[in-house]
Amino acid sequence: MQPFILAALANVAALRSPTSLCKGAQKSMRRAVLLLAIMALAILLAGGVAQAIINGEPDKGPNAHPYVGAYVAKLEGKRHSVCSGTLISPKVFLTAGHCTQVEIKKNRPAYVSFDPTYKPGASKIIKGTPYIHPKACIGFKGGCPRYDAGVVVLKEPVRMATYGALPKAGLVNTLKEGQSLTTVGYGATGIEINGNLVYPEDRYRTTVRLLNTKDPAVGRMFAKTTGVSLIKGKGGGPCKGDSGGPLFLPNQQTIVGVLSSELRRCREPAYYQRVDLPGILKWVRSFP
């Protein structure tokens, strides 16, 4: 606990004992110190939530996913990571349709970076052509979103030792509720006291659990996973900016789905567009 908080609480305790102060002055001081202690405690609690909201870890070291990249777009004159995705071959980058949709509508190229920490103006970015699934329905009217899948075909190949792997058709139907999976992305890693999201533009990973495998309203189109916990170490999950990022099997290569839901508060359960649907697999495999 912070020293100034301990001091404030100690002063409150001390003022409960008899002192040489007159009763009026003692009462007034007790109120002031008590108010200070309450404010300090509130700051402590808010700070704890801000630091622990994602509960993930930087995606570095021997367990890193170098084939997970940042989907980069221009914001306020600079190119920032706005979504995430997975390189599944030297030139094919799989992400969410609601990410590529923006560039397609504005008739402009997409950019991808595989730097573990993306730095606008410094990190290498690779230009590509964005695509969206022909049956994509982005939004929340009439049963949307559906087929929230997108692809960026890179202008130049990126050679890696391994790539993300597409699943077999119907994979999600074989998974059990509670299954541990890994999610990776470049999204927000915390929430500040004022409610603003923290975007270090680092690649992070965390473990989530599969939910509602028997719910047809979810299972036909999505894989649903746990969100983050407010208690550090009690559960991590994706946040805003992780859209399009992969949900991996424990082998850390096979993609179960791409993050579809936009998590403004970061704590809701996450919905991943299933990649194992025949209609999505056929479309993605059509790209060279």
- Write the DSSP string, 178-242: T-EEEEEES---EE-TTSPEE---B-EEEEEEEE-TT-HHHHTTEEEE----SSTTS-----TT-
* For residues 56-67, average pLDDT: 93
* For residues 150-179, average pLDDT: 96
Verify that 9 and 123 share a domain, yes or no.
no
Verify that 92 and 22 share a domain, yes or no.
no
What whole-number distance in Å separates Cα of residue 51 and Cα of residue 48?
A: 5
Verify that 123 and 163 share a domain, yes or no.
yes
What whole-number distance in Å separates Cα of residue 281 and Cα of residue 230?
A: 36
Verify that 207 and 242 share a domain, yes or no.
yes
Residue 45 located in a structural domain:
yes
Residue 240 located in a structural domain:
yes
**pLDDT tens, position by position, 169-185:** 999 999 999 999 999 99
Verify that 230 and 150 share a domain, yes or no.
yes
Better pLDDT: 208 or 55: 208
Verify that 76 and 36 share a domain, yes or no.
no
Q: What is the CATH number of the domain that holds 210?
A: 2.40.10.10
Residue 26 confidence (pLDDT) above 90: no
Verify that 197 and 85 share a domain, yes or no.
yes
Residue 28 confidence (pLDDT) above 90: no
Better pLDDT: 276 or 196: 276
Provide the residue range defining the domain that includes 159. Answer: 64-284
Verify that 40 and 132 share a domain, yes or no.
no
Instruction: Indicate the average pLDDT of the chain.
Output: 80
Residue 47, CA distances (Å) to 108, 138, 206, 218, 242 in order: 40, 35, 21, 35, 23
**What percentage of the chain exceeds 90 in pLDDT?**
55
At 233 the pLDDT is 60
Confidence of residue 32 (pLDDT cuts 50, 70, 90): very low
Find out whether the peptide bond into 250 is cis, omega within 30 degrees of 0: no
Verify that 190 and 254 share a domain, yes or no.
yes
At 265 the pLDDT is 62
Verify that 93 and 217 share a domain, yes or no.
yes
Residue 224 confidence (pLDDT) above 80: yes
At 261 the pLDDT is 80
At 92 the pLDDT is 98
Residue 59 located in a structural domain:
no
The pTM is what? 0.78
At 145 the pLDDT is 74
What whole-number distance in Å separates Cα of residue 179 and Cα of residue 152?
A: 30
Residue 126 confidence (pLDDT) above 90: yes
Residue 117 located in a structural domain:
yes
At 218 the pLDDT is 79
Residue 86 located in a structural domain:
yes
Residue 187 confidence (pLDDT) above 70: yes
Which residues, 6+ apart, have CB-to-CB distance to 231 below 8 Å? 52
Residue 58 located in a structural domain:
no
Most confident segment among 98-112, 193-207, 221-235: 98-112
Residue 134 confidence (pLDDT) above 50: yes
At 147 the pLDDT is 93
Confidence of residue 157 (pLDDT cuts 50, 70, 90): very high
Most confident segment among 31-45, 221-235, 272-286: 272-286
Q: How many domains does the chain have?
A: 2
Residue 20 confidence (pLDDT) above 50: no
Verify that 123 and 21 share a domain, yes or no.
no
Q: Which of 87-91, 105-109, 150-154 has the lowest mean pLDDT?
A: 105-109
Which residues, 6+ apart, have CB-to-CB distance to 134 below 8 Å? 283
What whole-number distance in Å separates Cα of residue 256 and Cα of residue 249?
A: 7
Residue 201 located in a structural domain:
yes
Verify that 104 and 15 share a domain, yes or no.
no
At 243 the pLDDT is 92
Residue 203 confidence (pLDDT) above 90: yes
